[in-house]
């Protein structure tokens, strides 16, 4: 019995990461394993976050809003990339579909924003089936090229269709009303997107802990072994693609009414690369990790905005340092 205990202790020690960041993450894991630790950490963070509009400027609130928007996109991309292990280089097209559906319905048919969300979800599912059906039998580099092509096709189509405003896009989109009050102030959008982030985290966490989520994990770890054990790989890949696209479509719908305008330039490949960067930087598969990656990606460049274009040089160097010392991400999954 003692030998088994010693062996378990050695195994537990071996799964821990080393270095300053490793010890910091391990300490955070150990603290949040306790119910009281979870209440202190998450309750404290939530309290500070909800009170932010009371003690921050409008500029800071805009940065925090942008941070939450990238969190929404990162959580959706994480279902495809982190949960299932697929390589998606065209995630900007996912939220472009939802954004354009909402913009077109509001401007041409004068539909209420809240009624455009189901239409955005339906269009996202259709787009995911169109690209995912024939493409998800591919793997690795080939799938990455297909998703990259889909992203560029979406942008080019939006730039050439009259209904999408072509290159000029669609402008003067009215902002929605909630409880009889139009959402115009940045602090209103701050709380709207806070609710969205909580909703996305809740849904993504339930997906991860479900049978569907476990199947995606098996596919990510070893696709051939998962198929040999009876997992319908193509079906689960397709559903992961659909789910991640729905997340992106809903985020795009809220984004376009916040911005009140939309152009194809907002959906370039760089946007997809930034979303994927947030997922990889934070820790693929870990929901709080991808949120931390999105926050790091959006907040850090703003801190050094005063130094001009040189801030991106420092940002790139910091990314390299993080990837060298934390190749698994800032807040990775804890596993053996």
Reported as a single tens digit per residue, the pLDDT across 153-200 is 989 999 999 899 888 889 889 999 888 888 999 999 999 999 999 999
Rounded to whole angstroms, how far apart are CA atoms 76 and 279?
10
The answer to the question of residue 104 being in a domain is yes
**Tokens 């051939």 sit at which residue?**
224
Cα angle 210, 122, 144; round to 5: 70
The answer to the question of residue 279 being in a domain is no
Give the residue with greater pLDDT, 262 vs 45.
Answer: 262
Decide: helix, strand or coil at residue 171: coil
Rounded to whole angstroms, how far apart are CA atoms 24 and 32?
12
The answer to the question of residue 218 being in a domain is yes
What percentage of the chain carries pLDDT values higher than 70?
Answer: 89
The answer to the question of residue 25 being in a domain is no
Helix 211-221 crosses helix 186-208 at what angle (to 10 degrees)? 80
pLDDT at res. 336: 43
Residue 332 phi/psi, 5-degree rounding, is -80, 170
Q: What is the pLDDT of residues 106-141, one digit of tens each?
A: 998 889 999 999 999 999 999 998 887 777 777 767
Which letter does DSSP use for residue 284 in this model? T
The answer to the question of residue 197 being in a domain is yes
Range of the domain at 104: 58-268
The answer to the question of residue 287 being in a domain is no
**Tokens 């189901």 sit at which residue?**
118
Prediction pTM value: 0.87
Number of domains in the chain: 1
- Token readout for 105 is 């319905």
Per-residue confidence band for 24, with pLDDT thresholds at 50, 70 and 90: low
The answer to the question of residue 315 being in a domain is no
CB contact at 8 A, 252 and 99 = yes
- The per-residue DSSP string of 179-200 comes to TTEE--SHHHHHHHHHHHHHHH
The answer to the question of residue 305 being in a domain is no
């Amino acid at each position: 019995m003692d030998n088994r205990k010693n062996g378990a202790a050695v195994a537990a020690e071996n799964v821990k990461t080393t270095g300053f960041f490793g010890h910091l993450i391990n300490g955070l894991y150990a603290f949040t394993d306790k119910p009281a630790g979870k209440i202190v950490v998450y309750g404290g963070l939530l309290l500070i976050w909800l009170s932010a509009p009371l003690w921050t400027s409008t500029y800071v609130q805009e940065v925090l809003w942008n941070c939450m928007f990238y969190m929404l996109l990162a959580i959706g991309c994480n279902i495809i990339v982190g949960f299932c292990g697929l390589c998606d280089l065209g995630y900007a097209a996912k939220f472009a579909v939802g954004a354009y559906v909402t913009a077109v319905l509001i401007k041409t048919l004068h539909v209420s924003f809240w009624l455009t969300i189901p239409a955005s979800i339906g269009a996202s599912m259709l787009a995911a089936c169109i690209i995912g059906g024939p493409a998800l039998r591919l793997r690795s580099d080939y799938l990455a090229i297909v998703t990259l092509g889909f992203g560029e096709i979406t942008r080019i189509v939006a730039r050439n269709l009259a209904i999408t405003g072509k290159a000029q896009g669609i402008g003067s989109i009215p902002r929605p009303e909630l409880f009889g009050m139009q959402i115009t102030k940045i602090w209103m959008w701050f709380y709207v997107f806070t609710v969205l982030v909580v909703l996305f985290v809740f849904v993504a966490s339930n997906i991860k802990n479900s049978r569907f989520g476990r199947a995606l994990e098996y596919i990510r770890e070893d696709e051939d072994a998962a198929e040999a054990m009876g997992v319908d790989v193509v079906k689960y890949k397709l559903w992961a693609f659909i789910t991640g696209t729905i997340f992106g479509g809903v985020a795009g719908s809220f984004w376009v009414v916040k911005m009140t305008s939309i152009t194809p330039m907002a959906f370039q490949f760089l946007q997809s690369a930034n979303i994927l960067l947030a997922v990889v930087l934070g820790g693929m598969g870990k929901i709080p990790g991808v949120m931390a990656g999105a926050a790091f990606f959006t907040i850090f460049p703003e801190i050094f905005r005063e130094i001009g274009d040189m801030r991106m040089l420092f940002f790139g160097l910091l990314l390299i340092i993080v990837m060298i010392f934390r190749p698994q991400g800032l807040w990775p999954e804890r596993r053996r």
